């Protein structure tokens, strides 16, 4: 087996709170992503999946563990040391209304990574490259001069995808990137992302809470609960043979369009657990068992 | 855009007139402004007398007001430039980096904010002499804290928005994010603050000069109001015309500030 594109080992992030207690947002997370593979991370709000995405692309600094991109450790690198690695890994954010600079034309936003990394000279060369990126994501080159507020949500998310592609990354981290779009636009953007994967060999780390999106896009699925991965495996393994009790409940909560197939829901009961712990205490580290090849489940 | 905003166009027109009166007209009326021009306390619009009358020494009020404009505008302009540069820089660093840098810079800001402004400026000007440089510095030193606070709060608001995270994730340096990403987004606030600051600087300069801390050779508007103050009961025009110039200049600056704010905000374009 070849070296994975991304190897995350024992990653940890703790947010201190003024009263001395701590929120264990991400605890001992191990994941790997192969080239041209999509790993979806699913879980409820507050389970730490967005924190995980930000730790990997270094918008937040992890407290422990390692992140290897293309077999090179990137945790602990400074902003300038990190710059060459940035090109290999790009992020698409959740809210296309907030993730573009409102005072810059969308063409400028897409050209900025090329300028920062010195990949194109200003002038016609830069313009041409940005125009090609616009066409690649299904926008017209004539859109370049316009401002974000003149676009719809789906078009803005296409601009964000163009910006992410500008550096020709190998890994794209999508943090709830289609959740803010309505369903028909969502489908278009997902199709675009899958097409780009086929053509450019991209890998995706797809953070979402939408199981329908996971079913459509993901090769493998990781289920996150209270900062830990409780189940990870191929999509078919997790969807057809959910083993951890939380995964079962999560899958049973997803609506099925066919009334004949409706089954009794498994509901989560009791108080909603919190990732917040008093000083000196912390969550127990879960141990994983391999229930079938490539399908790991936390022991309960 | 700017042209569609009638108040702003009026402000800009007013500013052009003020600049014309202060910089172009003096080229044509280069007579000695201190020369005797007629019987003292001649009322304005008197036949045979100067247009705006004469002051308590028989000098031409119109001539002195015309020549005083450049002094007032230059002091205010340089002071506003100094205030906005220092304030924006300190506010940006404090808001962007946070933590110990923020706390230190904000303590410094608070120190300057609690200085009694006029008193401090009086002391500085009295100690180092009433030159344009010292007056600009005195106004600058006591006026930057509000701008720094405003810039800081804007940076605190903007720095966690996704477009800033996006800039970080494409590898932008901190300097680039501060200057090219966040600062342009704080411009609407800063420009309005800058024009208001310039108005405030004009008033402050007038205040200092009124108290006698101005350059007696260049006779700024405020200084001239101060000189004519004691003859107000017999000579209302000596105080009114330079005072009116101060009022109109400050008014035109705030109208222009509003207009620029609307014009550079892409969301308001084309409305």
What is the ipTM, given to two decimal places? 0.84
User: Is B166's CB within 8 Å of A163's CB?
Assistant: yes
Closest partner residue to B174 (CB to CB) among A79, A116, A147 is A79
Confidence at residue B183, expressed as pLDDT on a 0 to 100 scale: 92
CA A93 – CA A118 distance, rounded (Å): 24
List chain A residues with CB under 8 Å of B99.
none
* A175 closest CA partner among B169, B21, B191, B19: B169
Residue B54 placed within a domain: no
The answer on pLDDT for B263 being more than 80 is no
Q: Longest Cα pair distance anywhere in chain B, in angstroms? A: 75
Confidence at residue B82, expressed as pLDDT on a 0 to 100 scale: 93
Residue B63 placed within a domain: no
Confidence at residue B267, expressed as pLDDT on a 0 to 100 scale: 64
Residue bearing the bigger pLDDT, A253 or B77: B77
Minimal CA separation from B91 to chain A, in Å: 20
pTM value is: 0.80
Confidence at residue B176, expressed as pLDDT on a 0 to 100 scale: 92
Q: What secondary structure, in 3-state letters, does chain B show?
A: CHHHCHHHHHHHHHHHHHHHHHHHHHHHCCCCCCCECCCCCCCCCCCCCCCCCECCCCEEHHHHHHHHHHHHHHHHHHHHHHHHHHHHHHHHHHHHHCHHHHHHHHHHHHHHHHCCHHHHHHHHHHHHCCCHHHHHHHHHHHHHHHHHHHHHHHHHHHCCCHHHHHHHHCCCCHHHHHHHHHHHHHHHHHHHHHHHHHHHHHHHHHHHHHCCCCCCCCCCHHHHHHHHHHHCCCCCHHHHHHHHHHHHHHHHHHHHHHHHHHHHCHHHCCC
The answer on pLDDT for B268 being more than 80 is no
CA A90 – CA A92 distance, rounded (Å): 7
Cβ pair A90, A165 in contact under 8 A:
yes
The answer on pLDDT for A99 being more than 60 is yes
Closest partner residue to A93 (CB to CB) among B165, B185, B267 is B165
Confidence at residue B269, expressed as pLDDT on a 0 to 100 scale: 56
Minimal CA separation from A152 to chain B, in Å: 14
Phi, psi of A65 (to 5 degrees): 100, -170
Residue B46 placed within a domain: no
CA B140 – CA B143 distance, rounded (Å): 5
Cβ pair A160, A92 in contact under 8 A:
yes
Which DSSP helix (H) or strand (E) runs through A54?
helix A49-56
Query: Domain of B149: which CATH number?
Result: 1.10.3720.10
Confidence at residue A162, expressed as pLDDT on a 0 to 100 scale: 94
User: Is B169's CB within 8 Å of A147's CB?
Assistant: no
What number is the average pLDDT over the span A291-298?
88
List chain B residues with CB under 8 Å of A103.
184-185, 187, 264, 266
Minimal CA separation from A232 to chain B, in Å: 27
* Shortest CA distance from A175: residue in chain B: B162
- Could you report the per-residue pLDDT of A48-83, keeping only the tens digit for each? 888 999 999 888 888 888 999 988 899 888 888 888
Cβ pair A276, A21 in contact under 8 A:
yes
User: Is A147's CB within 8 Å of B266's CB?
Assistant: yes
Q: Which of A60, A85, A102 to mutate to test the interface with B (most CBs of B within 10 A)?
A: A102
Which residue's entry shows tokens 């600051």? B197
* B86 closest CA partner among B108, B115, B103: B108
List chain A residues with CB under 8 Å of B176.
116
Whole-number Cα distances in Å, A232 to A6, A268, B125, B240: 16, 20, 73, 82
* A4 closest CA partner among A24, A30, A29: A30
- Could you report the per-residue pLDDT of B2-58, keeping only the tens digit for each? 677 888 899 999 999 999 999 998 888 877 888 887 888 888 888 777 888 888 888
Contacts of A68 (CB under 8 A, 6+ apart): A6, A7, A8, A9, A74
**DSSP result, A197-249:** HHHH--EEEEEES-HHHHHHH-SEEEEEETTEEEEEEEHHHHHHS--SHHHHH
* B164 closest CA partner among B234, B227, B76, B96: B96
User: Is B172's CB within 8 Å of A98's CB?
Assistant: no
**DSSP result, A71-115:** TEE-TT--HHHHHHHHTTEEEE-S-TTTSS-TTS-HHHHHHHHHH
Q: Which of A58, A88, A102, A103 to mutate to test the interface with B (most CBs of B within 10 A)?
A: A103
Cβ pair A86, A56 in contact under 8 A:
no
Closest partner residue to B163 (CB to CB) among A82, A87, A100 is A100
Residue B49 placed within a domain: no
Q: Which 3 state secondary structure label does DSSP give A41? A: strand
Confidence at residue A1, expressed as pLDDT on a 0 to 100 scale: 56
The answer on pLDDT for A43 being more than 50 is yes
Minimal CA separation from A94 to chain B, in Å: 8
pLDDT above 90 covers a percentage of chain A that reads 40
Contact residues of B toward A, CB < 8 A: 161-163, 165-174, 176, 181, 184-185, 187, 264, 266-267
Return the sign of the alpha-carbon dihedral for residues B162, B165, B170, B174. Answer: positive
Residue B78 placed within a domain: yes
Which residue's entry shows tokens 């606030």? B189
Residue B239 placed within a domain: yes
Give CA torsion, residues B258, B259, B265, B271, to 10 deg. Answer: 120
Residue B188 placed within a domain: yes
User: Is A116's CB within 8 Å of B171's CB?
Assistant: yes
Domain count, chain B: 1
Q: Which of B162, B164, B191 to mutate to test the interface with A (most CBs of A within 10 A)?
A: B162
Confidence at residue B15, expressed as pLDDT on a 0 to 100 scale: 93
Closest partner residue to A99 (CB to CB) among B163, B171, B187 is B163
Q: How confident is the model at residue A183 (pLDDT cuts 50, 70, 90)?
A: confident
- Could you report the per-residue pLDDT of A205-252, keeping only the tens digit for each? 999 988 888 988 899 999 998 889 999 999 999 988 888 888 888 888
CA B16 – CA B14 distance, rounded (Å): 5
Domain hosting residue B8, numbered range: 2-25+70-268
């Amino acid at each position: 087996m070849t070296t994975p594109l991304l190897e995350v080992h024992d990653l940890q992030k703790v947010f201190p709170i003024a009263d001395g207690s701590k929120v264990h947002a991400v605890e001992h997370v191990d994941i790997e992503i192969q080239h041209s593979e999509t790993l979806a991370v699913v879980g409820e709000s507050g389970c730490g999946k967005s924190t995980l995405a930000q730790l990997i692309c270094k918008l937040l600094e992890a407290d422990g563990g390692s992140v290897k991109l293309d077999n090179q450790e990137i945790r602990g690198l400074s902003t300038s040391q990190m710059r060459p690695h940035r090109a290999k890994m790009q992020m698409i954010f959740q809210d296309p209304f907030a993730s573009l600079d409102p005072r810059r034309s969308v063409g400028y936003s897409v050209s900025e990574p090329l300028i920062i990394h010195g990949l194109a000279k200003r002038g016609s060369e830069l313009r041409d490259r940005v125009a090609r990126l616009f066409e690649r994501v299904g926008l017209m080159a004539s859109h370049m001069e316009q401002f974000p507020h003149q676009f719809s949500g789906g078009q803005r998310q296409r601009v964000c995808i163009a910006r992410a592609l500008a550096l020709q990354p190998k890994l794209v981290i999508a943090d709830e990137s289609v959740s803010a779009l309505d369903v028909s636009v969502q489908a278009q953007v997902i199709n675009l992302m899958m097409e780009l994967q086929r053509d450019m060999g991209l890998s995706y780390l797809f953070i979402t809470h939408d199981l329908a999106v996971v079913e459509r896009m993901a090769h493998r699925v990781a289920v996150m609960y209270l900062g830990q991965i409780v189940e990870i495996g191929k999509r078919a393994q997790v969807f057809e043979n959910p083993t951890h009790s939380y995964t079962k409940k999560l899958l049973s909560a997803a609506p099925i369009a066919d009334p004949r197939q409706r089954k009794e829901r498994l509901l989560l009961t009791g108080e909603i657990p919190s990732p917040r712990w008093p000083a000196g205490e912390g969550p127990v580290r879960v141990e994983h068992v391999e229930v079938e090849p490539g399908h790991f489940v936390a022991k309960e | 855009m700017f042209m569609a905003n009638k108040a702003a166009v009026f402000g800009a027109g007013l500013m052009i007139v003020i600049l014309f009166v202060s910089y172009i007209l003096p080229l044509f009326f280069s007579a000695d402004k201190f020369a005797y021009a007629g019987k003292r306390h001649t009322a304005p619009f008197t036949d045979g007398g100067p247009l705006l009358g004469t002051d308590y020494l028989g000098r031409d009020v119109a001539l002195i007001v015309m020549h005083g404009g450049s002094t007032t505008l230059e002091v205010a302009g340089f002071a506003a430039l100094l205030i906005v540069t220092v304030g924006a820089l300190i506010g940006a660093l404090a808001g962007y980096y946070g933590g110990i840098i923020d706390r230190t810079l904000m303590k410094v800001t608070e120190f300057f904010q609690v200085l009694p402004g006029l008193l401090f400026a009086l002391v500085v000007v009295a100690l180092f002499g009433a030159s344009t440089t010292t007056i600009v510095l005195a106004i600058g030193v006591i006026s930057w804290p509000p701008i720094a606070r405003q810039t800081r709060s804007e940076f605190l608001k903007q720095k966690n928005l996704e477009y800033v995270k996006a800039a970080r994730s494409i590898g932008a340096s901190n300097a680039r994010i501060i200057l090219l990403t966040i600062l342009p987004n704080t411009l609407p606030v800063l420009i309005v603050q800058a024009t208001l600051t310039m108005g405030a600087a004009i008033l402050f300069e007038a205040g200092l000069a009124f108290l006698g801390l101005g350059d007696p050779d260049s006779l700024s508007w405020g200084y001239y109001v101060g000189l004519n103050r004691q003859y107000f009961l017999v000579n209302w025009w000596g105080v009114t015309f330079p005072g009116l110039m101060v009022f109109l200049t400050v008014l035109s600056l705030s109208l222009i500030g509003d207009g620029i704010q609307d014009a550079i905000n892409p969301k308001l374009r084309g409305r």
